[in-house]
A and B are shown apart, each in its own frame.
Chain A
């Protein structure tokens, strides 16, 4: 009997500790799952770090201790910085006149790799191993001050990450955010709808336009493609599409004011 008691005691203590320090245990039992934001985001979490871009700087916060972020670096990048995207150990940062690529091989110290400037316009970026896709959008009467007069989808060859090469320019209407889903590229082209491109042919840098999808005369601003679903940010809410066939989004639920 005594033997069993001594065996049970540490187990009992562990259970008690679990129950008592709930707050602290929250963090360690927390699987630390992150979610996914859109291409217009200024915040992105990669492993134990939160990366933020404000109008001029890239700031890295160590969030190993979830509730106690610690700023570990703050780097000036340029002016009118707007968006941040992660692919592998790289950050792609969009601004009003350039796309910047930073390495986060050393996650607490992002290091500049390359940049590609373009004519003045607003631009989010998404990328895969072969290409970076950037939409550039110019000022409209009642939208944010982007300046310039170009509206397009730019494709950069990033096989050599240090020398991004502009290889394609596709004219667009009023393009905002974009999303990559395997061999499909979705571009939110304002009131012209959600445009769908096939990018399965990696030797052809030009995305193959398939079609546009529109929902009740609304404006598409951004989209997130994840686990068979596409979530679109609209002018007054959101729509969810089934993309089990990525070329044929099927509208499911929505909340539009």
Chain B
């Protein structure tokens, strides 16, 4: 066959291959990471996890509290200041802030205000939750501008954002 034929056939095959791709747009962007309702329930954790992502601090009487950023609250017995002892860890997804009054600990769980009964610190329980009452965490748009996978609330609570290759993203920030 002539060189022209070879060329035409190759070009044709190339075209066919690219046409099958249907012009998919692939771009680096952000995608929400979801958690189920179970994942974000408030509960004590045992064994006690170490302090790793050390967050904000709070002192009241003989107890010292330190947030584990985004995960919960370490409760530490400081009745002996020379020997602090970890007493409990209260898992609170999205935790960053806390304040205490009486036996009630106020904490954010992403954008919810949660009230936790800490009268028995090793058996803490959520007693109230005000959903989406403030904007501490961006649960609808990603950390940076650009394309992102649209938030689908039916998939659960948005707990963080990750960067990934998106195919035909429909949302842009």
Q: Could you tell me which A residues sit within 8 Å of B by CB distance?
A: 26-27, 30-38, 40-45, 50, 52, 54-57, 59, 61, 63, 66-69, 71, 221-222, 224, 226, 229, 231, 233-238, 240, 242, 252-257
Chain B 128-151 interface residues, beta-carbon cutoff 8 Å to A: 128, 130, 133-136
| The 4 nearest A-B residue pairs measured at CB | A35-B60, A30-B102, A43-B99, A54-B134
Q: A33 near B60 (CB under 8 angstroms)?
A: yes
Q: A235 near B54 (CB under 8 angstroms)?
A: yes
- B59 smallest CB distance to A (angstroms): 5
For B134, give its contact among A32, A59, A253, A257 (CB under 8 Å).
A59
For A253, give its contact among B81, B96, B103 (CB under 8 Å).
B81
Indicate if B66 sits at the interface (CB-CB under 8 A).
yes
Q: A253 near B113 (CB under 8 angstroms)?
A: no
- B118 smallest CB distance to A (angstroms): 11
Q: Could you tell me which B residues sit within 8 Å of A by CB distance?
A: 50-52, 54-61, 64-66, 76, 78, 80-84, 86, 96-104, 106, 108, 113, 115, 117, 119, 127-128, 130, 133-136
Q: A253 near B56 (CB under 8 angstroms)?
A: no
Task: Give complex CA distance A89, B57 in Å.
Answer: 23
Q: List 14 A-B contacts (CB under 8 A).
A: A30-B102, A32-B101, A43-B99, A45-B99, A66-B102, A66-B104, A66-B115, A71-B130, A224-B58, A233-B55, A236-B51, A240-B64, A252-B82, A255-B86
Give A42's nearest chain B residue, CB to CB: B97
Task: Give complex CA distance A93, B48 in Å.
Answer: 35
- A42 smallest CB distance to B (angstroms): 5
Chain A binding surface SS class: strand
| Contact of A254 with B102 at beta-carbon distance under 8 Å, contacts A57-B135, A68-B128 already known | no
**5 additional A-B residue pairs with CB within 8 Å, beyond A35-B59, A69-B115:** A37-B56, A38-B56, A229-B81, A233-B54, A237-B54
Task: Give complex CA distance A45, B105 in Å.
Answer: 11
| Contact of A41 with B97 at beta-carbon distance under 8 Å, contacts A35-B58, A35-B59, A233-B54 already known | yes
Q: B60 near A231 (CB under 8 angstroms)?
A: no
| Contact of A33 with B81 at beta-carbon distance under 8 Å, contacts A41-B97, A54-B134, A57-B134 already known | no
For B113, give its contact among A45, A55, A57, A61 (CB under 8 Å).
A61
Q: A35 near B61 (CB under 8 angstroms)?
A: yes
Task: Give complex CA distance A111, B135 in Å.
Answer: 21
Q: B84 near A253 (CB under 8 angstroms)?
A: yes
- A78 smallest CB distance to B (angstroms): 14
- A25 smallest CB distance to B (angstroms): 11
- A109 smallest CB distance to B (angstroms): 18
Q: B81 near A36 (CB under 8 angstroms)?
A: no
B66 proximity list for chain A (CB < 8 A): 233, 237-238
A254 proximity list for chain B (CB < 8 A): 84
| Contact of A38 with B99 at beta-carbon distance under 8 Å, contacts A45-B106, A56-B135, A253-B83 already known | no
| Contact of A38 with B57 at beta-carbon distance under 8 Å, contacts A26-B103, A67-B104, A236-B51 already known | yes
- B46 smallest CB distance to A (angstroms): 17
Q: A34 near B60 (CB under 8 angstroms)?
A: yes
Give A236's nearest chain B residue, CB to CB: B54
Task: Give complex CA distance A27, B101 in Å.
Answer: 10
Q: A41 near B133 (CB under 8 angstroms)?
A: no
Q: B135 near A231 (CB under 8 angstroms)?
A: no
B78 proximity list for chain A (CB < 8 A): 240, 253
- A33 smallest CB distance to B (angstroms): 6
